[in-house]
Structure 1
């Protein structure tokens, strides 16, 4: 083949990404880069759904079991470790097969979207592969929240520089209005795009200016000039091959429920108890509250089982303990299903529906019927990859992003604020503004103020007419 492409396998949790990744790595002489924010941690194989030792023998896997479970491993750390591996594989004419459900990790490899804070300490063993401002890429730093920690039904995704910035210092003493005014002084363009109550984003923009000495709005402008968009910079590798495993929602929900049951049967609870006990030895000595915001504790499972895990050993087998255990299992199933929906929505909003971003062709594969895996998933995947390697378009498969009608045309980094004089409220973006103007609430306030103004005018007129000397 004339070139070695990057092969990316997308899909919600439990869709079969690992299975397809191994099969394609074997077929096309590739090696797998795991893009899973929890599988980078050592241990806890069940809760993080790692591939088995037998599966790892079928294809070389990278970035699994590489970090201590309590280390806060960020997307920047992941990118800095993954890029040298990808480049080394390409130089050896081996296909990098990126597999994982942490879409932000995959995004950091496909697009030039991150820069590194020079003041931040690197995780031990992390190689540096920075993107400088001179390359005209977007400015974003460190640390993101797990998708399941975000509001599930949030329709408007945040731009890349908003999601991939170091966690803001929300304990700053200034009020929202004071912080927004400060931003207006150093970066008026950015201030017009942010609501004063959006404290986190306002602080983030102030921190960008403080750390890099450059306006946040200017950095966004640079990334667009480099071929990027409000979601980040341009593509890092040309013409990557992207496969997306899709499943009927009802079938997928049942599959995820069964997956959780299988985890429990495989020893999930014991795995959590053992790790929780080791962790709590140090925590209790230091009289610290449990912290589920760092390391492996961000994984789905710990929060859901917390009340059960902290029970005394003799109470776990009691009626109360068993009830709590079943509630934890049910909650784990619920958040897993929600997370899968969030993953699907992320792919649609940040890739499939985009018109303002360099998005490669994305080919969907139907994994609804497990008994038809070979005909519905494996064979079509091989045909797509084989055709693209020859420089040909797959004959029987059209990219999904060429079929979507309801596309996203708004660039969130360009939206500006509108102030409603009647309601005395600020709205960001044309969509919110137009919706507000048509809203019943706005019309009610407008009518109430109009009536009040008319009444006041009438009262003044009557007073003038009754005043001495009036005609």
Structure 2
């Protein structure tokens, strides 16, 4: 059941400060609140966004630069209708696949979506792996209008590499090859639009040669394409992680790091339980604190959350 947010844009009381002239000093109006979910590909960002949106009155804004395009739902790993659980999603599968969609385009369209969500008194949750899009949105005057909470879903690299490799195999089982083949065009420009998505250029040689190669050569070309997809996906995850560290360490973005590594080491019900304990539960507690202006209490490298007298949650930065 979703939690309504009656205090979401609460008006803070005026502040009286005694002076010689008994002047009345007012606090600036409270900023609208925005949650941003960051993380490398495959870490579970979309899952966390749904966890948040089904507990708070929230809507999701996609910030993945490939998922913004129409088509190639499997290759770009778009969240499915079933996985969305009825949560409204913005900027997902709306752009012509042959066109270019820049960071400035994203900033303009995401800003419109943000205002629309806030008019409905819902919480905007920005989620996706394209950190350049998120940076373009949050930079400049954004912080003067919005109060941001950054959640970073992190997974140890060796564990994540193994997971994304297995995920590519599952994408193949779900029909990625046919999907990309139907989209294939000889001499296509792989530097623009959705053709930049991992999985599209890697299959180019396989599709070009499959009609005149023997089965052994076809099998070899197919295996090479899959290996390239896995390698390039791991490289993407590395670049995304480097960007997150830069945003945190160089630009000073305060991030709540949620370590999901143990989730990916487990299976079935144990993995679901670990997700609730390590990611969803702490993430929800952080957002609850953020929405209702609870005060954090610092304790070494850990931030405890105290709502007046009671300790609500703990999350590391």
Aligned mates of 1:347, 1:81 — CA distance in 2? 23
Whether the aligned pair in 1 keeps the contact of 2:189 and 2:195 (CA below 8 Å) is yes
Whether the aligned pair in 1 keeps the contact of 2:258 and 2:316 (CA below 8 Å) is no
Residue 72 (structure 1) aligned with residue 97 (structure 2): no
Secondary structure of the equivalent of 1:41? coil
Whether the aligned pair in 1 keeps the contact of 2:202 and 2:225 (CA below 8 Å) is yes
319-328 vs 387-396, greater mean Cα deviation: 387-396
| Higher strand proportion (structure 1 or 2) | 2
Residue 391 (structure 1) aligned with residue 273 (structure 2): no
Q: Deviations over 1:334-383 (max 9, x none)?
A: 1101110110110101x2112xx4x4421000111221101000100111
Q: State the shift of 1:94 in Å.
A: 0.3
Q: State the shift of 1:237 in Å.
A: 3.9
Aligned mates of 2:155, 2:289 — CA distance in 1? 24
Q: State the shift of 1:297 in Å.
A: 0.9
Equivalent residue number for residue 61 of structure 1: 89
Summarize the Cα distance change of 1:56–1:319 in structure 2 as closer, same or farther, 3 Å threshold.
same
Equivalent residue number for residue 51 of structure 1: 79
Aligned mates of 1:258, 1:30 — CA distance in 2? 31
Aligned mates of 1:239, 1:69 — CA distance in 2? 33
Q: Gaps spanning 5+ residues in structure 1: where?
A: 113-232, 281-288, 401-471
Give structure 1 regions of 4+ aligned residues with deviation exceeding 6 angstroms.
none
Say which structure, 1 or 2, has more relative contact order (CA 8 Å, 6+ apart): 2
| 1:248 aligns with one of 153, 156, 160 | 156
Aligned mates of 2:144, 2:221 — CA distance in 1? 47
Aligned mates of 1:74, 1:331 — CA distance in 2? 26
Secondary structure of the equivalent of 2:150? strand
Whether the aligned pair in 1 keeps the contact of 2:97 and 2:193 (CA below 8 Å) is yes
| Higher helix proportion (structure 1 or 2) | 1
For residues 114-193 of structure 1, the aligned pairs below 5 Å read none
Q: State the shift of 1:398 in Å.
A: 5.4
Summarize the Cα distance change of 1:37–1:243 in structure 2 as closer, same or farther, 3 Å threshold.
same
Q: State the shift of 1:55 in Å.
A: 2.1
Summarize the Cα distance change of 1:236–1:99 in structure 2 as closer, same or farther, 3 Å threshold.
farther
Aligned mates of 2:209, 2:56 — CA distance in 1? 50
Whether the aligned pair in 1 keeps the contact of 2:286 and 2:315 (CA below 8 Å) is no
Equivalent residue number for residue 352 of structure 1: 248
Equivalent residue number for residue 341 of structure 1: 238
Q: State the shift of 1:56 in Å.
A: 3.0
Aligned mates of 1:5, 1:77 — CA distance in 2? 22
Q: State the shift of 1:290 in Å.
A: 2.8
Q: Deviations over 1:239-294 (max 9, x none)?
A: 31110001111111110111111011111111111110xx34xxxxxxxx331111
Residue 376 (structure 1) aligned with residue 278 (structure 2): yes
The structure with the larger Rg is 1
C-alpha root-mean-square deviation of aligned residues, in Å?
1.7
| 2:182 aligns with one of 257, 261, 274 | 274
Q: State the shift of 1:397 in Å.
A: 3.6
Aligned mates of 1:341, 1:15 — CA distance in 2? 12
Secondary structure of the equivalent of 2:152? strand
Whether the aligned pair in 1 keeps the contact of 2:100 and 2:192 (CA below 8 Å) is yes
Whether the aligned pair in 1 keeps the contact of 2:210 and 2:218 (CA below 8 Å) is no
Equivalent residue number for residue 113 of structure 2: 85
Q: State the shift of 1:72 in Å.
A: 1.2
Whether the aligned pair in 1 keeps the contact of 2:50 and 2:85 (CA below 8 Å) is no
Secondary structure of the equivalent of 1:51? coil
Aligned mates of 1:44, 1:373 — CA distance in 2? 28
Aligned mates of 1:318, 1:363 — CA distance in 2? 50
Summarize the Cα distance change of 1:240–1:399 in structure 2 as closer, same or farther, 3 Å threshold.
farther
Residue 290 (structure 1) aligned with residue 188 (structure 2): yes
Q: State the shift of 1:399 in Å.
A: 5.4
TM-score (norm 1): 0.54
Equivalent residue number for residue 204 of structure 2: 306
Equivalent residue number for residue 327 of structure 1: 224
Secondary structure of the equivalent of 1:14? coil
TM-score (norm 2): 0.79
Aligned mates of 1:255, 1:398 — CA distance in 2? 25
Whether the aligned pair in 1 keeps the contact of 2:68 and 2:91 (CA below 8 Å) is yes
Equivalent residue number for residue 9 of structure 1: 37
Aligned mates of 1:100, 1:55 — CA distance in 2? 15
Residue 264 (structure 1) aligned with residue 172 (structure 2): yes
Whether the aligned pair in 2 keeps the contact of 1:239 and 1:360 (CA below 8 Å) is no
